[in-house]
């Protein structure tokens, strides 16, 4: 379980408070965080991941836990091929190939990521996050840019491979959130 107690975050430029006294609990399974742009969804994810600190409040339950993350940006090694991007986080070729094939990238796994479409890059990012050893999976708009025909199978893949873990998914898409699980709305 992860517990957020009175989390606050303020940014100086431009001056704004994005999180004020946020109290949430995340249990095993997928929780989708929704809310208007600018309410601090990504800031909340970064606080949970330990990438930024809250101005006040506490995060309980992440110490000693391994976190894997899909960022809003792809953050791929563009000069490397898809499989090497996945293997970068864990040297498990069998699982990396299995995930890439399941994501529909069998014929593209040895192409440089700079040659892949935006949706294909997102799928590589998701495979990379799923191959890692993790207790907590944080997904920040992971399905953006995916074709409508591919998105359901990738969401199902995430559900299948993250079973038994704590998963926090940030999305603006109500259909994604309803498909994946519990929905938490951050006030705007």
pLDDT given for residue 188 in this prediction: 65
- Residues listed for the chain: 188
pLDDT given for residue 155 in this prediction: 97
Mean pLDDT computed over 101-122? 96
Contact 32, 155 (CB under 8 A): no
pTM over 0.85: yes
Mean pLDDT computed over 45-70? 96
Q: Could you tell me where the DSSP H helices lie in the chain?
A: 41-49, 82-87, 93-102, 118-131, 151-161, 174-180
Express each pLDDT in 99-109 by its tens digit: 999 999 999 99
């Amino acid at each position: 379980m992860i517990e957020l107690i009175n989390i606050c975050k303020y940014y100086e430029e431009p001056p704004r408070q994005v999180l004020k006294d946020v109290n949430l609990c995340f249990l095993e399974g997928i929780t989708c965080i929704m809310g208007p742009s600018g309410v601090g969804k990504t800031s909340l994810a970064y606080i949970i991941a330990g990438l930024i600190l809250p101005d006040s409040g506490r995060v309980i339950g992440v110490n000693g836990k391994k976190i894997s993350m899909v960022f809003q940006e792809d953050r791929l090694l563009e000069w490397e091929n898809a499989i090497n991007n996945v293997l970068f986080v864990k040297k498990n070729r069998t699982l990396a190939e299995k995930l890439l094939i399941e994501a529909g990238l069998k014929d593209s796994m040895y192409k440089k990521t700079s040659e892949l479409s935006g949706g294909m890059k997102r799928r590589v990012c998701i495979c990379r996050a799923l191959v890692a050893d993790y207790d907590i999976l944080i997904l920040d708009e992971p399905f953006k840019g995916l074709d409508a025909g591919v998105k359901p199978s990738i969401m199902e893949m995430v559900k299948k491979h993250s079973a038994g873990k704590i998963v926090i998914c940030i999305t603006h898409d109500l259909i994604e959130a309803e498909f994946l699980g519990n929905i938490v709305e951050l006030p705007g």
